[in-house]
A = this chain, B = another copy of it.
Amino acid sequence: MPELRRDPIVGRWVIIAAERGQRPTDFAPERVEAGGGPCPFCPGSEDRTPPEVYAERPEGGDADGSGWIVRVVSNKFPALQIEGQPDRRAEGIYDKMNGLGAHEVVIETPEHGTELALVPLEQVSAVARAYRARIIDLTLDRRFRYIQIFKNHGAPAGATLEHSHTQLIATPIVPRRVDEEIKGFAQHYELKERCILCDVIHQEIDSQRRVVSESEHFVAVVPFAARFPYEVWVMPKFHGAAFEHLTDDQIDAFAQIFRETLQRIHATLDGPPYNFVLHTAPVNDPKGPHQYHWHFEIMPKVTKVAGFEWGTGFYINPIPPEVAAAQLRSAL
């Protein structure tokens, strides 16, 4: 069973996942497998993944059969384990609990060798519907407090399989980064009785200096204090705490600006590796952090994060956000 351990000084939780039995020699540089070989995410290989937990089949068809345009399966090598209870306990002055959670893979397209920036718009909508459906379904499991949607694209961003996919991890605790944001939202609300991200969005749309693109209900912005060159946040202009509350129409509008943003990054940086993460409100919280404002953070990997960043939590970004935004705006 993997274990969740809490750092005694700063309170950060770490997943200690020894299930894969890795040894030092297993840490050769990771490679994304070449296209053409047998890929477990391709149509016809449905029996090579764990059973599906969600799929969209426009023409109908059986679970784990063909005809899907998006398919979600459990991760074959999960970082967390679905069975059991958290069982929080001490080890002397330390805190730990069972590494309880769900770890799933969203296969974004049946087509091997393409990527989310390049698939048709309807496909991106289907992917966003899969995110929404999985968050709603996993929320029914009362053990979970957070559902993290994230993508590693390209080997330098941590991807180990080439076929385009997103990952999802559900955890029994609210991760530190999200918790810090919740505190930031609450602090601003206490002072101003407004949402800090609503305020940010208003200022950005007024100034236009860092806006990458804008539609009726969404906006893509290079954040004022971007950690990474060409980092972009895609946010709803309306206040919404939880991604999974989007309607079908809103999903389509989100998919449009999200895909366009990925295309702008692809064009500006020649198809770079990147990560994205969805920051959305915790689940199964009876009080509900209604002050939260969900957003996607997209982080191209064009520089290396080195010792200074690890040591200080303080990033060096060589591209001013205004310059990055101007380049991304003129990219398409």
Chain B residues contacting A18 (CB-CB under 8 Å) are 318-320, 323
Chain A 293-309, CB within 8 Å of chain B: the 1/0 string? 00001010011111110
**Which of A4-12, A104-112, A131-139, A254-262 is near enough to bind chain B?**
A4-12
| Nearest B residue (CB) for A295 | B9
A316 contacts B15, C-beta separation under 8 Å: yes
Chain A 1-36, CB within 8 Å of chain B: the 1/0 string? 001011111111111111010101001011000000
| Nearest B residue (CB) for A11 | B184
Chain A 218-251, CB within 8 Å of chain B: the 1/0 string? 0000011111011000000000000000000000
B9 contacts A277, C-beta separation under 8 Å: no
Tell me, rounded to whole Å, the shortest Cβ–Cβ distance linking A127 to chain B.
15
B150 contacts A308, C-beta separation under 8 Å: yes
A224 contacts B5, C-beta separation under 8 Å: yes
* Cα-based distance from A175 to B315 in the complex (angstroms): 10
Name the prevailing secondary structure of the A interface residues: mixed
A304 contacts B30, C-beta separation under 8 Å: yes
Tell me, rounded to whole Å, the shortest Cβ–Cβ distance linking A96 to chain B.
8
B312 contacts A175, C-beta separation under 8 Å: yes
* Cα-based distance from A92 to B151 in the complex (angstroms): 33
Known: A10-B181, A224-B8, A224-B91. A24 touches B312 (CB 8 A): no
Chain A 129-155, CB within 8 Å of chain B: the 1/0 string? 000000000000000001010111000
- The count of chain A contact residues (Cβ–Cβ below 8 Å) is 92
Chain B residues contacting A39 (CB-CB under 8 Å) are none
Known: A225-B6, A311-B279. A158 touches B317 (CB 8 A): no
* Cα-based distance from A7 to B315 in the complex (angstroms): 11
- Which residues from chain A sit less than 8 Å from chain B, CB to CB? 3, 5-18, 20, 22, 24, 27, 29-30, 79, 91-94, 146, 148, 150-152, 156-159, 167, 169, 171, 175-178, 180-181, 184-185, 188, 196-197, 199-200, 203, 207, 223-227, 229-230, 268-270, 272, 275-279, 297, 299, 302-308, 310-321, 323, 327
By Cβ-Cβ distance, the 10 closest A-B pairs, closest first, are A158-B306, A277-B311, A175-B312, A275-B307, A150-B307, A177-B313, A176-B313, A27-B302, A9-B184, A5-B225
